[in-house]
Homo-oligomer: A and B are copies of this chain.
Amino acid sequence: MNTNEFILAKVAPIFNKQGYVGTSLADITQATGLTKGAIYCNFANKEDLAQKAFELNVRTAIYPLFRLIATTQGAIHKLYAITTYQRGYYHLVKDLGGCPMLRVGVDTKYINPLLFKQAENLSKRMLDGLATIIEEGKLSQELKQDINPLDYAKVILSMIEGSSLLAFTHNDESYISKAMDFIDNGIIAKIKN
């Protein structure tokens, strides 16, 4: 692991916990044990570091889900894979301080447009991915024909993000497990053919 990766590994959770403006260069030098010279030798500025830290957080928290979906066959199996993944999400992102997409989405909208755009794009990719799975489920006759993929994608993603928020607000992962139970039994099971 080179210095660049070392800094990111140390700093990414701090940005996710304290936010963009809430994380100072002093926090960064203290957490890494390095000086500002080392930081600015590896990153252009604070914003560059924040963006790369966000990328790392997304890679650890969300990309595994994308890979899981990609390697799972069938719409129904993909949907269950999502809820299964999400059931472990609390512990997965516990040390990170919660969902990075959620954090950046609310934190940077009015103070850091570039970083916000990244979170926005990621959120859109998740929505599109969900809608595509449901669409493919309709085509393969796995799912009923009278459902609107985009509408269901919005509902499921809302439950995923909302339950993650509440789980970390109350330090209680049951918000996630109960929400996933409902998606399994109250949504997926109901739209199955």
Chain A positions within 8 Å of B, measured between CB atoms, are 17-22, 97-98, 102-103, 105-107, 109-111, 119-120, 123-124, 127, 151, 154-155, 157-163, 165-166, 168-170, 174-175, 178-179, 181-182, 186-187, 190
Q: Is the CB of A169 within 8 A of B111?
A: no
Expressed in whole angstroms, the Cα–Cα distance for A182 and B111 within the complex equals 33
A187 CB to nearest chain B CB (Å): 7
Q: Is the CB of B17 within 8 A of A166?
A: no
Contacts of A97 in B (CB 8 A): 109-110
Whether A19 contacts B21 in the complex (CB less than 8 A), given A120-B169, A158-B166, comes out as: yes
Q: Which of B19, B109, B160, B168 contacts A162 (CB 8 A)?
A: B160
- How many subunits of this chain does the assembly comprise? 2
Residues of B within 8 A of A21 (CB): 19, 21-22
CA A155 to CA B175, docked complex, whole Å: 7
Q: How far is the CA of A166 from the CA of B102 in the complex (A)?
A: 9
Q: Is the CB of B157 within 8 A of A162?
A: yes
Nearest opposing residue in chain B for A148, CB measure: B178
In the bound complex, CA of A162 to CA of B163 (Å): 7
When the two chains form their complex, are residues A110 and B18 in contact, meaning their CB atoms are under 8 A apart?
yes
Residues A106 and B165 in contact in the complex (CB < 8 Å), given A111-B22, A170-B123, A187-B186: yes
Q: B169 touching A154 by the CB < 8 A rule? A: no
Q: Distance (Å) between the CB of A177 and the closest chain B CB? A: 9
A34 and B96 alpha carbons, distance in the complex (Å)? 40
CB distance from A171 to the nearest CB of B (A): 9
